[in-house]
Amino acid sequence: MKFVTAALLPFVVVAVGCGPPPTDPGDPNPPPVNQWQPLISRDWTLPPGTEGYKCVRHTVTQDLAAGGFEAIAPLGTHHTLLTMGQPNAPDGISDCNAGTNFPFSVFGSGVGSQPVRFPEGVAFQVPKGMQLLLNLHIFNTGQAELSGTSGARVYTIPESEVVERAEGLMAGTLLLNIPPGATTTHTGYCTLTKDSTLFAVAPHMHQLGAYEKVVAETRQFGEVTLFDGPYNFHDQSYKLIPLLQMSAGDRIRVECTHRNTTTRTVTFGESSNAEMCFAGIYRYPYTGAAFACTR
């Protein structure tokens, strides 16, 4: 087996195949801005009828200001989660599991995710020296071996244009119990610990998801609906919303309706044959809070 790497930007690497990437010699030139660039990705191969997790790590060598993200998600990509933290393992590729993540979310995508551009002046910043960790959940439902390259692209903006520093969180619940043949609605909450301005939301369930409603419960504005509609497993995209200021102590309510067409009870799980109830949220300012916010 072989690997291929390409230093497309001073702060990124695209790693594919097997084995760690060679040392990046760096680039003395400043990174290009105001354009989409490959950020991080890896290739994978999966036998028929199986699923698994594949990871790749890269430590950035220059500060990165991201004004948007786009998924690289060929057939077989169930979802991706890009997180960051202090380096705790060598750069390069590895097999992993659903829990192999840093505490700070950068970007997540599901089936059919479309690019998301942040409001003007808002950026997700990855400081020099932080390690990016891309966790791919790959699911091959076919009858033949499946291969692809999955990852993320980034829309870079100049540091001088950054007014607000964004962060991501996942609001919802892990407490799901969906009996066979039943239609159920479960509700989860995320209580904010700091004042925040919300600007994007993305529903996330699995194949039994039928409907999702996401509501901000605020003391200043009352209840504000962020998302309310049928759930489409093949269109899991962030939607920009009117800027919404929330105060510490306000909370986000996530209501998920599942329609269980199987003959078994379905509970929470990472597998595509299990279920989830989440809403991905982008907000500012950056608080340093862990991205999981559930009850």
The answer on pLDDT for 48 being more than 60 is yes
Find tokens 């698994």 and name the residue.
52
pLDDT (0 to 100) of residue 30: 58
Asked whether the domain spanning 167-294 has the same topology as the one spanning 3-19+32-163, the reply is yes
**Distance in Å from the first CA to the final CA of the chain:** 44
Query: Number of H helices and number of E strands within the chain?
Result: 0, 24
The answer on pLDDT for 25 being more than 50 is no
Least confident of 147-151, 240-244, 277-281, 288-292: 288-292
**195, 244 in Cβ contact below 8 A?**
no
CA distance 71 to 136: 11
Question: Residue 165: helix, strand or coil by DSSP?
Answer: strand
- Please state the rounded mean pLDDT for residues 3-9: 32
The answer on pLDDT for 9 being more than 60 is no
pLDDT per position as a tens digit, 172-181? 999 999 999 9
**CATH: 2.20.25, 1.10.3470, 2.60.120, 1.10.150. Which one for 3-19+32-163?**
2.60.120
**Ranges of each domain in the chain:** 3-19+32-163, 167-294
* Class of the domain covering 167-294: mainly beta
The answer on pLDDT for 102 being more than 90 is yes
Other C-beta atoms lying within 10 Å of the C-beta of residue 123: 26
- Which H or E run contains 56? strand 50-59
**For the purposes of burial, counting CB atoms within 10 Å of the CB of 45, is it exposed (0-12), middle (13-18) or buried (19 or more)?**
middle
pLDDT (0 to 100) of residue 217: 98
Q: What are the Cα distances from residue 58, in Å, to 1, 85, 91, 154, 223?
A: 21, 11, 5, 15, 41
